Each structure stands twice: as structure tokens, then as C-alpha cells.
Amino acid sequence: MDTEAVIESGGAIPLRYRSSANRIVKSDAFYAWATSARSCELLIQGHVVADTEQARAAMSLASASIMQGLRGRARFVPLVFFCGRHVEYDDELTGGSAMIRSMMAQLLQQHFTNATFRKKEVHLEALEDVDIDIVCELFGWLVRHLPQNMTVTCVLDDVSCYGNRRYEADMWRVIEFLLGLARDESLPPAVKVLATCPAGTVYVHKLFKQDGSAILSVEGLPPMGEELGMLKVEDEL
């Protein structure tokens, strides 16, 4: 699983980058998103000028930690896709289609393992297809058939990896669809969407609410006191 692989590699990430991820999870914006009992959305943007592999890895570590913390907890359905781990041309799990199909598979494995469906209700063969609209429709149908007290948490890690001509359009369709679920007041289960963008891509920014509550800029987070001392030690090593 990608989540386990990301966490296992976390120890190799330098402190200055891990501390950045720590500031994220301790920020007011993240706390509000994480503790909300209602549907909500949050985009975490990194430093545009600090787009390094270490910065990406640190933000992925934060995403993996969120998923690990939600696993096994009653009433939570944690779904995640690590875009940065699926960028090779020979990888079948790349792009927007892979994002929604992966989340669909996770949802089925967690809550519909013993379910049977009528063909008129869903199109399971779409999971092996590339028709994003059909898969999104099926995903939404399944979410609507979850118990009303459930919370579906969708984490899209490092979406900036798909900000190119080949993947961008499909990525936008999937993010817009998930945000649509989060904004649907008629949907009984809560749907919480979190996207991370280490490179600070402005295009993804446009999809999220512009009222100041849905976008968290890492660049604007002040360093914590104990972190400053540790960074000085690291610089001297």
C-alpha cells in the first residue's frame, strides 16, 4: 500500500521539511477541517519556490499520517490517492481516471465487500474502463448509500504532479466532482476533501472556495519555537 510506503520512508526526510508538515497539522485551518462533523474542503499549498522532492515527501507524509489515524475508526471512510507515486508512463494507475478508480476500489473494500448490485443501479465494469463520468456517478451512488452518520474523507496528495497537458483536464474533473459532493447539502454522509499541492499550483487554487476558509498556504505559517532550535542544530551538522 502507498500509505505504508510513505510512512516507512518518512524517517529519511530532513527535519526542516518534516517540521513544515508538522506546522500544517497544527494549523487552525487544518484543525477546523479535521474536526468538522460536516462536509468541508481544504487545499494545502506549499512554497512555489521550494518545490523539491523533500518538500513533496514531507507533505505526502502528512497525508499518510492522516489516513493512518483514521483507519479502523468507526464512522470514518478514509480514501487516499498519492499522485506522486503514480507518474510513470507504464503505470496503469496514473491521471484523474486512476484517482477516482482507486478511491472507488478503497470504498468498495471498506464498506461494500458483501454487497450485491443490480446492473440497472451501477456499472461495475466501469472500474476497468477510463470513462471518468461513469466511475464518478457510481462513486457518488455508493456514497449516498452509506449510513447517514458516516464521514467520507478523500485525500488527494500532490495533485500538482498532474498539472500538465496529459493529465490536467481529467484531474480537474475528478476534483470538481469530489468538491461537488462536499458542497451537496442534500447528501447525508459528510464528505471531506483535502488536496495537497507542494508546488503551489495556482490553477488548482481556483477550484476551491475563495472565502479564506478552504485554502492553507504553508508559506504563511510561522515556525514553532522548538522547531527553530532544532533547525539550527541541523544546519550545523
Q: What is the pLDDT of residue 230?
A: 36
The more confidently predicted of residues 67 and 16 is 67
Q: What does pTM read for this prediction?
A: 0.83
Residues contacting 53, CB < 8 A, separation 6+: none
pLDDT in tens, 128-174: 655 888 889 999 999 999 999 999 999 999 888 887 788 888 999 99
Q: Which ranges of the chain would DSSP assign to H, the alpha helix?
A: 2-8, 15-25, 28-35, 53-70, 95-111, 132-144, 168-182, 202-205, 225-236
pLDDT for the residue numbered 120: 47
Please state the rounded mean pLDDT for residues 16-29.
82
Identity of the amino acid at 126: A
Q: How confident is the model at residue 228 (pLDDT cuts 50, 70, 90)?
A: very low
Burial 62-92 (b: 16+ CB within 10 A, else e): bbbbbbeebeeeeebbbbbbbbbbbeeeeee
Question: What tens digit of pLDDT does each residue of 178-205 get?
Answer: 999 999 999 989 999 999 988 766 578 8
Q: Identify the CATH class of 2-86+94-236.
A: alpha beta
With bands split at pLDDT 50, 70 and 90, how would you rate the model's confidence at 79? very high
- 72 vs 47, higher pLDDT: 72
Closest CA to 30 of 214, 205, 229: 214
The closest alpha carbon to 155, from 3, 1, 26, 53, belongs to 3
Q: Which has more confidence, 115 or 137?
A: 137
Average the pLDDT over each of 15-29, 94-108, 114-128, 211-225 and give the range with the smallest value: 114-128
Q: Which residues contact 91 (CB under 8 A, 6 or more apart)?
A: none
Among 202, 193, 179, CA closest to 34: 193
Strand pairing report for 215-217 and 190-197: unpaired
- pLDDT confidence of residue 113: 67
Mean pLDDT of 9-23: 76
Residue 220: CB partners within 8 Å, gap ≥ 6?
Answer: none
Mean pLDDT value of segment 202-221: 81
